[in-house]
Amino acid sequence: MIAVIVAVSVVAAAGTAAAQGGDAGAGKAVYDLKCAGCHGEKGDGKGPAAELLEPRPRDFTTGVYKVRSTATKVPTDQDLFRVITEGMPGTSMPPWAVLPEKDRWNLVAYLKRFAPEKREEAPKRVELPREVASSAESIKRGREMYEAIECNKCHGDQGRADGPSRAELKDDWGHPIRPANLTKPWSFRGGASRTDIARRIAVGVLGTPMPSFIDSVEKPEDVWHLTNYILSLSPGAPRYATLVTVTSVAGAIPDDPDAALWKRIAPSHIPLMGQVIVDPRNFNPSIDLVAVRAVYNDREIAFHLTWDDPTESTGDGTRAFPDAISLQFPPRPSGGAERPYFLMGDASEGVYLLRWESGKGVGEATAHGPTKLAPLAGAEATGRAVFAAGQYRLVMKRPLASKDAARTEFRPGVFTPVAFQAWDGGAGEAGPKMSLTSWYYLRLEEPESSRRFVLPPVVAILTLAAMLLVVRVAQMRS
Amino acid sequence: MSFLRSRFFQAVVVLVVSFVVLRWGIRPPAPWSVIQLYMFVVLMAVLIYVSADSDSWRAFVRPIRSTLVDPDRRHVRGAFLVALPLLLGYYAYTQAAARPQAPPELRAVHPAPPASIRFRGKEINISGVDNPLRKDGAALRKHVAAGAATYVRNCMYCHGDNLDGKGHFASGFNPPPANFQDPGTIAMLQEAYLFWRIAKGAPGLPKESTPWNSVMPAWEDRLTEEQIWQVILYLYDATGQQPRRWETAH
C-alpha cells in the first residue's frame, strides 16, 4: 500500500516537473545566442564581458543562485524562471520577458545541466510567518531588530550601504561586492515587493555575505517588522525630470543644506550613468542618482544637491580621491539647439562648470574636455556641504549675472542647457572616471503671472454672450 | 424609440463612435493632430450627409432649433448656457496654467553619409562599399563570434544584451541608444553606413543631427577596422536583419 502511494506521488511529482520543465537542448541554442556573452559558453560566468561587470555574471557550474524562495540551497525552477523573466535590477542582468515563455523554460532546463550534482536535493520552499502589516510600532520593532542582528554593519545606519564592514565584503568567488542601498528599493536584486524583501531576509542571498536571518531574529514574524522598516527607509519612487525648474524666492537663500527652505521644494531626480567614452572608463559607476533643488532671488541662483556616497573621502592621492560633483552649462546659452559637446566640451567649444570638491569647497572652472579643466579666478561662487550617514547634501550659490564671458548668465524664462557629473573618490573615481548625464534643461520660472486667473472668466463671459445672441436671433426668426 | 431615427441623434452617434475608435481603438495611439484631422473629415461627411436634401436638413436642425426657441425646453437651454461657458472657461484655465515644456529636440536620425572617411589615417570609402568580411565565407562564424565579444565589451551597456537599445545606461540618455531589432534602424542602412556611424560616433555627426547631445563614442579610438566590420556582422546576424544592399539602392 505504502509502495503504491510512494509510486503515485513520484509520478505526480514527475508530472508537475514535466509541466514546466523545458527542453534543455532547445535551451542551449537560446543560451548561446543571448546569455553566453556574459555567462560564458560553459556557464562558468566567464563570458567576454564578465570582467567589466560588477556584480559579476553568475557562474552556473556552482549551482549557487542569489535569489531563491527556498529554505534549501537549491532554488525552484520558478525562481530561475522569474530571474530570467524579470532580470536583476541594479545589475547587468536585463529582464528577458521579450523571449517567448517556452524559450525561458528551456533556458531553465539548460541552466540546471551546468550543475546536475547540485540538483539532487529537492528544493523546498521557505514558509514565511504570517504577514504583519506596516505600522509605526512594526517599523519601530523593525529598527530594533535592524540593530540587533547588525544589518547596519553592512547596510549602514540609515540603509545607504555605508556600513563599516562594507569595504571587506567579498562574494564566494573573492570578488568585492557592495551591500544593497536599502533606500533604493527599485534596485533590489530579487524584487521589491513585501514578500520578496521578507524572503530575502529569511533565506539570505546565496554566494554573498548576506546570510539567512530566519533563525537569528527573536521571533519569526520579525522578518516582517524588518521588511516594514526597510520599506520605510525609501523616500519613494524617484521623480525623474528632463527640465529642472528654478523656483523664485524672496529674501536671502540659506547656505545650510538642512535649512527649512530646501525641504519645501520638490526635488527633480537625475539618473547618472557611467562615462565609457574616454579612458579610464567607468562601467560600474558608484553614484547613480542626484536629487536637484534650485531657487533664485533678485541677485543669486542656488542649487541644492543630494546624493548617496557610501564613503566620505578627501583622497589620499593614491587609491582614494576627493568626492566631487559638478553642474555643467554652456558659457553662453544661445537659446538655439547648438551647444558644446556633452562630455565637458571639446577643443573648439568649452563649458562652464559650477563644482564642489571635498576639501576644496565650491569653485568654478571652464573645461575643454574631461581632462582639460581650468579653475576660474575670482571666486563668485560659495556654498556648503554636509555628509551624514552615506549621503551628501550640498548648497552651491552664485550671482545670477556675471561680467566674465566664461561664466554662464542666468535669466528668467530662458531654457538653459545643464548637465551633471559626479565622482565617488572613495571608489577610486577621479578625472574621466565618473558618472555623468547628457544635456538636460534648466529654467528659472518667471514670477507668478495672474493670466491664469483673468483669462478663464473672460472666455466664459464671451461664450455666454455669444450663446445668448444665438438664442435671441433664433427666437426672433421663428 | 423615435429618437433613434432622429437625424441629429444619428449624427451625434457617428461622431462619438468615430472619436472613440480613433482615440482608443488604434494601437499604438495616433497623435492628437491626426485624430483632429480625421474628426474634421468625419464631421464634414456627416454634415454633407444630413444636408443631402432639404427634408433631411430640416429633420437634422429641428432638435437644435427647438432647444433654442421652444418655451418648454427652457431648462435644457439654461443648462447649456451654464455648462458650455464653464467648460470653455476651464479649458482656458488649463491652457493658461500649463507649465512650460522643454523645447523639442529636432534632429536628423539618419543623416547623409560622407563619400569617404579617414580612419586612423587611412582613406575608407563609404559609398558603394560592402562588408569585406562577408567574402570570407569559411571564417564568417568566427568573425560573428569575435563581433559578439566586441559588442558585449563595448556596446551592450547602452544598446542592450538583446540589441534592443535597452542597455543599463540607456535610460539616462537622450537621444536614446538605437534599437537594432527595430526594422527602422540597421535593416534600412548599408553596412558601410554603420561603419561610418560606429567609427566616427557623435563627434562625427553633421550639425542637423545634434552631435553635442548624442553619447555615441567615436570607436575609431578603440576598435580596429576589422573589429568594427565584425561587430556589424554580429548586429545583422543576431537580429536576423539584412543590410540594405547597394544594388537595390540604385
Mean pLDDT, residues A404-414: 89
Last residue of a domain, one of A179, A204, A233: A233
**Binary contact (A98, B168; C-beta < 8 A):** no
| A413 confidence band (pLDDT: 50, 70, 90) | confident
Top residue of A273, A434, A455, A461 to mutate, by most chain B CBs within 10 Å, is A273
In-domain check, residue A88: yes
Rounded to 10°, the helix B140-154/B225-239 angle is 100
Residues of B within 8 A of A344 (CB-CB) are none
Does A37 lie at the interface with B, CB-CB under 8 angstroms? yes
Query: How many A×B Cβ pairs under 8 Å?
Result: 136
Q: Where are the alpha helices (DSSP H) in B51-116?
A: 54-69, 74-96
Q: 127-146 in B: which are within 8 Å (CB) of A?
A: none
Q: Which of A13-17, A206-210, A242-246, A306-310 has the lowest average pLDDT?
A: A13-17
Mean pLDDT, residues B167-190: 90
Q: Which of A220, A242, A30 is nearest to A126 (CA)?
A: A220
pLDDT attached to residue B5: 78
pLDDT attached to residue A403: 83
Whether A148 and A44 map to the same domain: the answer is: no
Does B40 lie at the interface with A, CB-CB under 8 angstroms? no
Whether B125 and B213 map to the same domain: the answer is: yes
* Residues 6 or more apart whose Cβ sits within 8 Å of residue A62: A115, A118, A172, A207
Whether A415 and A466 map to the same domain: the answer is: no
Q: 261-280 in A: which are within 8 Å (CB) of B?
A: 271-274, 276-277
- Residue B11 CB coordination number (10 Å): 16
Whether A400 and A283 map to the same domain: the answer is: yes
| pLDDT tens string B193-216 | 999 999 999 999 988 888 888 999
Does B172 lie at the interface with A, CB-CB under 8 angstroms? yes
Residues of A within 8 A of B68 (CB-CB) are 470-471, 474-475
In-domain check, residue A2: no
Whether A264 and A215 map to the same domain: the answer is: no
Measured between alpha carbons, how far is A217 from A223 in angstroms, rounded to an integer?
Answer: 7
Whether A256 and A340 map to the same domain: the answer is: yes
For residue A14, pLDDT over 60 is answered with no
Whether B131 and B207 map to the same domain: the answer is: yes
Whether A228 and A247 map to the same domain: the answer is: no
* Residue among A340, A415, A455 whose CB faces B212 most closely: A340
**Binary contact (A474, B88; C-beta < 8 A):** no
| pLDDT tens string B138-151 | 899 999 999 999 99
In-domain check, residue B102: no
In-domain check, residue A4: no
Measured between alpha carbons, how far is A203 from A197 in angstroms, rounded to an integer?
Answer: 10
In-domain check, residue A14: no
Whether A207 and A300 map to the same domain: the answer is: no
What is the chain B residue with the closest CA to A271?
Answer: B172
Whether A197 and A228 map to the same domain: the answer is: yes
Mean pLDDT, residues B44-66: 90
* Residue among A273, A439, A463 whose CB faces B84 most closely: A463
* Residue among A94, A342, A443 whose CB faces B160 most closely: A94
Top residue of B74, B169, B223 to mutate, by most chain A CBs within 10 Å, is B169
Whether A209 and A251 map to the same domain: the answer is: no
**Binary contact (B77, A471; C-beta < 8 A):** yes
Min Cα separation B247/chain A (Å)? 31
Does B152 lie at the interface with A, CB-CB under 8 angstroms? yes
Whether A306 and A412 map to the same domain: the answer is: yes
Whether B243 and B135 map to the same domain: the answer is: yes
Q: Where are the alpha helices (DSSP H) in A57-129?
A: 77-86, 101-113
Number of structural domains chain B divides into: 2
Question: Which residues on adjacent β-strands are paired with residue B123?
Answer: B118
| A6 confidence band (pLDDT: 50, 70, 90) | very low
CATH number at residue A95: 1.10.760.10
**Cβ(A69)–Cβ(A125) below 8 Å:** yes
Which range marks the domain in which residue B44 is found? 2-69
- Residue A46 CB coordination number (10 Å): 17
| pLDDT tens string B85-139 | 999 999 988 888 777 777 777 888 889 899 899 998 889 888 888 888 988 888 9
In-domain check, residue A70: no
Mean pLDDT, residues A125-153: 94
DSSP string, A180-225: P-TT-GGG-TT--SHHHHHHHHHH--TTSS----TTTSSSTTHHHH
Whether B32 and B127 map to the same domain: the answer is: no
Residues of B within 8 A of A34 (CB-CB) are 161-162
**Cβ(A303)–Cβ(A418) below 8 Å:** no
Which range marks the domain in which residue A221 is found? 136-233
In-domain check, residue B140: yes
Percent of chain A exceeding pLDDT 70 equals: 95
pLDDT attached to residue A7: 44
For residue B178, pLDDT over 80 is answered with yes
CATH number at residue A374: 2.60.40.1190
Signed CA dihedral, A29, A33, A35, A41: sign only = positive
**Cβ(A427)–Cβ(A308) below 8 Å:** no
pLDDT attached to residue A1: 43
Number of structural domains chain A divides into: 4
